[in-house]
Amino acid sequence: MTTDTIEAANRLGAVRDAMGRSARLTERTADDINLIAVSKTKAADAIRPLIEAGQRGFGENRVQETQEKWPALREEFPDLTLHLVGQLQSNKAAEAVALFDVIHSLDRPSLLPALAKAMDAADRRVPCFLQVNIGAEAQKGGCPIAEVPSLIRAARDADIPLLGLMCVPPAEVEPAPFFALMAKVAREEGLDRLSMGMSGDFETAIMLGATDIRVGTALFGERPAAARPTPASGRGMIRNSRAG
Ligand SMILES: *Cc1c(COP(=O)(O)O)cnc(C)c1O
């Protein structure tokens, strides 16, 4: 093992230990939670040690970056799962359907025709999480809570498989009430899975029912400042680095 692999294994082990502690409080284990390693801005050489340490699910937020980085890694490691965690433009739907195994950012009805067409053309149904703007933030993507039921209906009409709900709660405030609200909305809509929780708050998210967590910094270290794409990245470990 190289030092990179040992460090990756240590980070992965620490995250999985923390996942296990939180999962036990909801009578689950770490294995019941799907850990998605968010590798945006990280080069293949930084990703490979984590794969070698056993991680299989990865998340990216940009179609083009994924196209550049992942086909070669996929060839090397055929059993990987790729998740789109960033906003999707309709004109990238075909590429997204070809590249990703799960889409976490279905957030508006106008995406549905493009996604349905892309899935038909590829003869591949890519399951989606419906992204909810849980904090009703003007600057943030996601479907307003009030429009979740109609978006679910429209997605089903378009024959797009839905797994559950996804959110990025507001930065710099306690996320627990937002996670609890997400769980309530998902329950009301009869959806099983909740994609919520990042490096700074995944333990809280798991305690409140997260089934899929999206963790970048805690697995890969800090991202370069210019590449922080969402206001939500300000919470947790990243806020500490800003303060320092
Ligand atoms: C970057 C990102 C993450 C990971 O954030 P970390 O704080 O680095 O763990 C999770 N979800 C989304 C949507 C992201 O854009």
Residue 159: partners with Cβ closer than 8 Å, 6 or more residues away: 116, 119, 125
* Stretch 155-167: mean pLDDT: 98
**Ligand 1: distance of its center to the CA of 59 in Å?**
9
Q: Is residue 230 part of a domain?
A: yes
**Which of 88, 100, 198, 237 has most ligand 1 atoms within 8 Å of CB, for mutation?**
198
Residue 241 has pLDDT above 60, yes or no: no
Instruction: Note the pLDDT of residue 234.
Output: 44
Residue 111 has pLDDT above 80, yes or no: yes
Atom of ligand 1 nearest to the CA of 38: 4
> How far is it, in rounded angstroms, from Cα 34 to Cα 154?
27
Residue 35 has pLDDT above 90, yes or no: yes
CA count, 13 A, side-chain hemisphere, 23: 17
Write the secondary structure of 118-159 as one string of H (helix), E (strand) and C (coil).
HHHHHCCCCCEEEEECCCCCCCCCCECHHHHHHHHHHHHHCC
Instruction: Note the pLDDT of residue 219.
Output: 98
Residue 242 in tokens: 């800003």
Residue 72 has pLDDT above 90, yes or no: yes
Instruction: Note the pLDDT of residue 226.
Output: 64
157-171 residues labelled b (16+ CB within 10 A) or e (exposed): ebebebbbbbbbbbb
**Ligand 1: distance of its center to the CA of 217 in Å?**
8
From 1-15, 17-31, 60-74, the region with the lowest mean pLDDT: 1-15
When the pLDDT of each residue in the chain is averaged and rounded to a whole number, the result is 93
* Stretch 60-86: mean pLDDT: 98
Q: Is residue 203 part of a domain?
A: yes
Contact, 145 vs 184, CB < 8 A? no
Residue 128 in tokens: 């989606």
Contact, 173 vs 183, CB < 8 A? no
Residue 191 has pLDDT above 70, yes or no: yes
Q: Could you list the beta-strand ranges (E) of the chain.
A: 34-38, 57-60, 81-84, 102-106, 128-131, 162-166, 193-195, 212-215
**Ligand 1: distance of its center to the CA of 105 in Å?**
13
Q: Is residue 155 part of a domain?
A: yes
pLDDT band for 120, please (50, 70, 90 cuts). Answer: very high
What is this structure's pTM? 0.92
> How far is it, in rounded angstroms, from Cα 227 to Cα 27?
37
Q: What is the CATH number of the domain that holds 35?
A: 3.20.20.10
The closest of 71, 59, 94, 86 to 217, measured between CA atoms, is 59
**Which of 214, 235, 239 has most ligand 1 atoms within 8 Å of CB, for mutation?**
214
Atom of ligand 1 nearest to the CA of 199: 9
Task: Write out pLDDT tens, residues 50-62.
Answer: 999 999 999 999 9
Residue 40 has pLDDT above 50, yes or no: yes
Instruction: Note the pLDDT of residue 239.
Output: 40
> How far is it, in rounded angstroms, from Cα 86 to Cα 71?
19
| 18 or 244, higher pLDDT | 18
Instruction: Note the pLDDT of residue 104.
Output: 98
Cα radius of gyration (the chain): 17
**Tally of domains in the chain:** 1
* Atom 7 in ligand 1: residue holding the nearest Cα: 199
Domain residues for the domain of 122 are 3-239
* Stretch 168-188: mean pLDDT: 97
Residue 227 in tokens: 């590449």
* Stretch 98-114: mean pLDDT: 98
pLDDT band for 236, please (50, 70, 90 cuts). Answer: very low
* Atom 12 in ligand 1: residue holding the nearest Cα: 85
The binding-site residues of ligand 1, defined as CB within 6 angstroms of any ligand atom, are: 38, 40, 61, 85-86, 168, 198-200, 214-218, 229-230, 233, 236, 238
Q: Is residue 11 part of a domain?
A: yes
Q: Is residue 244 part of a domain?
A: no
Q: Is residue 7 part of a domain?
A: yes
**Ligand 1: distance of its center to the CA of 157 in Å?**
30
Residue 32 has pLDDT above 80, yes or no: yes
- Range 136-139, long-range pairs (CB < 8 A, 24+ positions): 137/170, 137/231, 139/231
Instruction: Note the pLDDT of residue 242.
Output: 33
CA count, 13 A, side-chain hemisphere, 197: 30
Atom of ligand 1 nearest to the CA of 61: 15
Residue type, 214: R
